[in-house]
Amino acid sequence: MAYSRLRRTTAQKKALMRDLVTQLIIHEQITTTESKAKELKKLADKMVTLAKKGTLHARRQAAKTVRPQQATETKTALQKLFDDLADRYQERNGGYTAVYKTMPRLGDNAPMAIIQFIND
């Protein structure tokens, strides 16, 4: 599978994707550039697939990527992923996120997109 570097070094891209996937899990919808959203879709779908497995090994693999941030007053982003999102998509086989193109950004005319979890 080919990945875009997004004009960053590998470490910068990895940090960016970790931040974006954590925010997507917390808010369930974010607005970002189109190219970042397309890359994020791959990672977010992988995280939900790990969450659906529900094993300790899958939780540790997901913990390598998802940042330890509070999603609600009682749950972290990782707990929300494994408790809420895994239950929501238990019957679904892939395609957990959707990318919708929006208007270009005003400052630099960059193509923007909304990425969100699909509601079943």
Dump pLDDT digits (tens) for 2-17. 667 888 999 999 999 9
How long is the chain? 120
Three-class SS state of 116: strand
To which CATH superfamily is domain 10-117 assigned? Ribosomal protein L17 (3.90.1030.10)
Q: Which amino acid is at 84?
A: D
The Cα 18–Cα 66 span in angstroms is 6
Contact 88, 118 (CB under 8 A): no
- The percentage of residues in the chain with a pLDDT greater than 70, rounded to a whole number, is 97
Q: What is the pLDDT of residues 29-65, one digit of tens each?
A: 999 999 999 999 999 999 999 999 999 999 999 999 9
Q: pLDDT-derived band of residue 90, with 50, 70 and 90 as boundaries?
A: very high
Query: What pairing do the DSSP bridges indicate for beta strands 97-101 and 29-33?
Result: unpaired
Q: What integer pLDDT is reported at residue 2 of this predicted model? A: 63
